[in-house]
Copies of this chain bind each other. A is one copy, B any other.
Amino acid sequence: MGYKTDMKILYIMFDQLRFDYLSCAGHPTMHTPNIDRIAAKGVRFTNAYTQSPVCGAARMSAYTGRYVSSHGAQWNGYPLRVGEVTLGDHLRDAGVGCWLIGKTHMKADAAGMARLGLAPDSVIGARQAECGFDVWCRDDGLWAEGPDGRYDQKRSPYNEYLKSKGYGGNNPWADFANAATDGDDVASGWFMKNANQPANIDEPDSETPWLTTEAIKFMEATDGPYCVHISYIKPHWPYIVPAPYHDMYGPGDILPPVRDPSELDDPHPVYAAFTQGRVGQTFSKDHVRDTVIPAYMGLIKQCDDQMGRLLDYLDQSGQADDTMIILTSDHGDYLGDHWMGEKDLFHAPSVKVPLIIYDPRTSADATRGTTCDALVEAIDVTATIIDASGQTVPHHVVEGRSLMDYVEGRTPKAPRDYVISEYDYSSHPVGARLGLAPKDARLFMVATQDWKLVHCEGGLPPMLYDLRNDPDELRDLGRDPAYADVRAQMYEHLHAWGLRMSQRVTLSDDDIAAKQAGRKTGVMIGVFEEDDVPADETVCYRVKTPPRS
């Protein structure tokens, strides 16, 4: 297919970046000229869905190419089972390196590794513990601390960097990078009232430039072929950004919330529980949005400037023409839309992700600067990277479908009729508040171009949205008798998906074709007479009786 075997792939992921907070996606005040530069050279997918609106589960799907229910790491901190095959395994099988710079939110299956005797400090063990990546630099970027200790026990290269630059204390991530000052005191970014103040850090020392520097260092030091996952922590909360980004945007730049009081009339119990929680209540307040969203936009602006720095480096180092760029996010952020904050549910601001693919090869010239509104999933990116590396996607393991047909302007061999996203909220306070057993605190979204259905386990009713006539998803038709037929159609998709083959991971379709061809090994089933089968198959059974001593 004319793929350069020395190609480099930058698999860039931002965290909690909404699909619609880019100027190329039509945001009127959020200017992202550098991300737009990538879109101008590639294809921007306008209907890309995450596999789960939560970091951990979404990322385990992105790194395995498998649905959340298939890999089982269904929420943050749920270990990915040992032996689950990752993007890194697939790429290394083809001699392509697979590197990590930044966040994965992956928790290793320590019990499973111990059961298999895998030492975390061995190469194999380290890859198991790092979701299949070779680690240039891992920093999950959540160095929270409370009375019960740290949220994340791992070492933070970023905190070590800050200390080396003279930032004091044990946790400069918290005290400087994610805090302003109030006189002599820390004004923590964890308190969103501080979001409109500048982070108390030199801008080049903040997280996004630091990670970009690491990425450039990696590219300077490493020859292809490789895929490097450049995984930024921002614009994920804490929502605070250093000058000059902290006041680039103000309340006048933010869009009105997409919400309607009628959404809170007779709401679905799961939706109601989320809106009634602290996050939903807080983000439903205008002064919170006026304070937080400008900081969120500033963080995105900083991300965009760092994309510019990365693109300039590629141009200057002559790598722009053999470096593929995939830019996406793990999920979105409600920011007060639908009376919600954070993510957790399946309205567009949460479940849709930005996705831009720039392929430098001439085979992609036909689609440069175009958009594609086909239904695609995060796991399709995994398949795309494998395909773009010149390999056959192992569909007995990888459930994603390569997007290269779209990138190269062909009619896709396997377009998606619907997309799936899942959410396990058994560990979320809402699961407990609704008194649901863990297995019942699960949601499944199935969406077509026209409809979005959310199935709820635990005997709860579904949610349904008419995406054509109610694009803002303000009317839940899940319990409206008039839409029983639509729900039945959507359930047909979900039920077919539920019976998919997801675990036959040790044998490919080609292996099975070979089995069908069959080896003649003398197993005779239903054979009454010798003559019922070709003589050559029974030679071993038509012999003299051996001697017996």
Contacts and interface: CB of A to CB of B under 8 A. Distances in A.
Contact of A169 (B117, B498, B546): B546
Given A455-B499, A457-B499, 20 more contacts: A69-B501, A69-B502, A73-B504, A89-B115, A116-B118, A144-B521, A145-B522, A146-B520, A147-B537, A147-B539, A148-B520, A149-B521, A150-B522, A151-B522, A174-B540, A181-B545, A191-B528, A279-B526, A281-B526, A427-B516
A542 interface: yes
A142 interface: yes
A523 interface: yes
A115 B88 CA distance: 12
A529 B439 CA distance: 35
A361 interface: no
Contact of A542 (B185, B499, B523): B185
B116 A529 contact: no
A79 interface: yes
A399 to B, nearest CB: 11
Counting from the closest, the 8 A-B pairs by CB-CB distance are: A498-B498, A72-B503, A169-B546, A279-B526, A168-B546, A146-B522, A144-B522, A83-B83
A192 B528 contact: yes
A472 interface: no
Interface string A244-256: 0000000000000
Interface in A448-480: 455, 457
Given A501-B439, A548-B176, A191 B78 contact: no
With most chain B CB atoms within 10 A of its CB, the pick from A82, A431, A506 is A506
A221 interface: no
A123 to B, nearest CB: 9
Interface in A426-449: 426-427, 429, 431-432, 437-439, 442, 444
Contact of A77 (B147, B502, B515): B515
Given A166-B548, A520-B148, A509 B438 contact: yes
Taken together, the copies of this chain in the complex come to 2
Contact of A541 (B78, B168, B174): B174
A79 B507 contact: yes
Contacts of A541: 174, 179, 186, 188, 190-191
Given A512-B427, A523-B142, A528-B288, A506 B112 contact: yes
Contact of A504 (B72, B172, B200, B437): B72
A519 interface: yes
A380 interface: no
A527 interface: yes
Interface string A60-73: 00000000011111
A545 B541 CA distance: 87
A119 to B, nearest CB: 10
A31 interface: no
A538 interface: yes
Contact of A175 (B186, B283, B543): B543
